[in-house]
Amino acid sequence: MENGELKINNMKLLLITFLSLPLVLLGDDYEVPKTWFGDPDLQGTWTNASLTTLERPDEYKTLIVSDRDALIAKRMTKEFVDAQDNYLEPGETPKAGADVGGYNTAWMDFGTELFKIDGKYRSSIITYPEDGKLPRRWIGWGKEAIAIARMFRQADHPELRSLGERCIVGFGSSGGPPMLNVLYNNNYQIVQSPGYVMIMVEMNHDARIIRLDSEYNPDNMRRWLGDSIGYWEGNTLVVKTINHHPQQKFRAAIRHQILITEEAEITERFTRVGKKEILYQFEVNDNEAYKDIWKGEMPLRASDEKIYEYACHEGNYAMANILAGARAEEEN
């Protein structure tokens, strides 16, 4: 009887070993490179340009999108871009008093398709709540509504205008945290040194410096992109950010609008999952602006493009025109 049980146990062990063998053979054998000082290497230029937006569009009911629907989204975007580029015939000019338009699509870089994670197309960056929508606390948003409306109406001097218009930070939450894709300039350059990780954001050349295994600054020191401390969990860089700047509460772009209050706590995770990809994940905990935490993830894909200087002030004709228009309106 004992020999029979021993044989059965040996057969079970052999079966478990056999079943687990394919997982080992087919598992991800990617070895994360290391810097010369031993940290996992995240360095390089990366992009998060994608048709996938922060919140899930109403036409999608689930996080995972079928290949067919992803192809439809890609085709519709191309048709939209082509139409934008050809709304005037060669040599034709807009009619007097008509909208002259803004950027043409040569300046746009919002991607050509929905992004994939684990080989599946995604309908939203948000993974929680499961409906892919921000769990807004409308009372908290309402408190900021008056200040937001006033900011876009006041034009007594430049410092009353929004940070993006003043070339202080990029539009929306491109610089983060969380780092979200926008209409253009969706590239990031990561540089590492002992004790530090620096993320250079293409949009307005925001340089975000993350101190590793360090202490937070005093509460009265409020940086434009918050105060970020990082540490390593295996091959994953975990970054926790607090003490957000009061003028960075409302972050608006064409593709997302979020509210990050001064006391929000944001956790980000950067994991190198391949030679040409970093998995970027985040969690926002902000009880004043949201009824629940919200989470998201997206790939950062390697780019061969260089990041050039974002000469915002040098080309900021709009600011002078906004102020000049306000003065002309006062005279009338």
Output the DSSP codes for 91-132.
Answer: T--PPTTS---S--GGG----SS--EETTEEESBSEEESTTS
- The model's pLDDT over 319-329, given as tens digits with 9 standing for 90+, comes to 888 888 888 88
Q: How far is CA 213 from the centre of its chain?
A: 24
pLDDT of residue 22: 36
Q: How is the chain split into domains, by residue range?
A: 45-84+107-318
- The model's pLDDT over 137-165, given as tens digits with 9 standing for 90+, comes to 988 788 777 777 777 778 888 888 888 88
Q: What is the pTM of this model?
A: 0.86
pLDDT of residue 88: 67
Q: How far is 142 from 109, CA to CA, in rounded Å? A: 32
pLDDT of residue 2: 47
Pick the closest to residue 56 from 135, 118, 145 (CA basis).
Answer: 135
- 280 and 126 Cβ atoms separated by less than 8 Å: no
Among all chains, which residue has been given the structure tokens 């902000």?
A: 286
Using left for φ > 0, alpha for ψ between -120 and 50, and beta otherwise, residue 270 falls in: beta
- 262 and 254 Cβ atoms separated by less than 8 Å: no
Is the dihedral angle over the CA atoms 288, 197, 171, 104 positive or is it negative?
negative
Q: Which residues of the chain have pLDDT under 50?
A: 1-2, 5-27
